Amino acid sequence: MSSAPSVSLVTLGCARNEVDSSEIAGRLAGGGYRLVEEGAPADLVVVNTCAFVASAKKDSIDTLLAAADTGAKVVAVGCLAERYGKELAEALPEADAVLGFDAYPELGALLEDVLDGHRPASHTPVDRRTLLPISPVNRPAAATAVSVPGHAAGGRAPGGHAPSGTAAGPLLTRKLLHAGPVAPLKIASGCDRRCTFCAIPAFRGSFVSRPAADIVAEAHWLAGQGVREIVLVSENSTSYGKDLREDRPLERLLVELAGVPGIIRTRLSYLQPAETRPGLVTTLATTPGIAAYYDMSFQHASEPLLRRMKRFGSRESFLELTRSIRAQAPEAGIRSNVIVGFPGESEHDLAELEAFLVGARMDAVGVFGYSDEDGTAAVDLDGHLDQDVVDERVERITALVEELTAQRAEERIGSELLVLVDDLSDGVVGRGEHQAPEVDGATTLLDADGIALGDLVRARVVGTDGIDLVAEPLEVLPAPSVDPDRLRAGVAG
């Protein structure tokens, strides 16, 4: 290539995909490509697709088609490409390449082939759970031979260089695509659960933890890029460390991250209720620098229906968990997603869910209607409900959730919270400890002249708009001084 080709990287889906795109950007920048803003003219458009549900698949395909309309070469990567591979390539000839996760280490060379008019072989999907040993403790060594997005090792792309703003070295290759005070940080990939409604483990693979040293090193790098809050992401964060032969590895990791200079808040996401132990609840509730925030994947509350989902728990056990959280941190944020209309769901099951939601009084709840997903066990279950019944139940539970979460927000009027300012596009907006980016509400600060992006503001809540809060600034706080030795001594048992 005579001059650096330009690449636009489009990311769809969850925060885990955002980390993967950040790794892809680091590899490409290190391989001599020139990254341009999404939507800007480019020689290549790389679309990091999502395949979570039908609507996400449609968004991914629409985005690929729109990219092709610009006249650029178009490459599909990410979950849709990994899950469907050749099938997607045949159905979507507008894409010049469909590449799976195993192509990421060689992505720079493959894009060069695309620019030269060649069409790389399309990805052939496999069940990625078969690529690693069944026993988690046997995976760490084997995982080095498998491409696991977001776990990049080797630093620089082969033959490349490390431009400014790219993390490079023995631990990771990453380039932030968006400046700002909040960034996701991946702590693990894959999942060993067998939920009957979920296809993710088949194309994301078995659960693999990142070594704590790699995660902490990346947190230091993020702090150097101006990040003040890190959001720890994975498919199942409560499983972190089960393959590392360590004692209480997640709690120890959280405490170590709380001591990273420049990082004022660490937020943990994607927790499984059945795996959430008392020590983790206490660590999140009491450790300075760790958000008292519980992103609990309840999915439902009827014990018989949860069993059909191949999940564990009940209304009573889930309410006991939420009571335990609030006993230690009354202002803690608790959020979840629930599925309604699952095959076999009865009116009694739905009433159990309603009773749980009323009792738990969470801060944010996503409500999803069940739909069949290719390759999942739920497709073959009896008791599928008519779509109009599913839609009615979604509407019913959504209305209840909106009422309950609005009430929960109103209960915060008069209280103080620490708001990290992360958006100045329409006023001064940030988030308290109970508000995660993208998925929860936000806090708008009134009379906020002089407050800058990334400021941590002590504020008093004076009003609400649904789950969003309105607050008056009281003071802008300096980054707190954290003693790592003191924090390590306080790991919850």
Which residues contribute to the annotated binding site?
Answer: 14, 50, 79, 191, 195, 198
Nearest CA to 301 among 341, 368, 354?
354
Please report, as a single letter, which amino acid is at residue 165. Answer: G
Please report, as a single letter, which amino acid is at residue 74. Answer: V
459: which strand partners? 417, 473
Q: Which residues are annotated as a binding site for [4Fe-4S] cluster?
A: 14, 50, 79, 191, 195, 198
CB-based contacts of 482: which residues, under 8 Å, 6+ apart? 258, 259, 261, 288, 289
- Map tokens 């431009």 to a residue: 163
Contact 120, 99 (CB under 8 A): yes
458: which strand partners? 418, 475
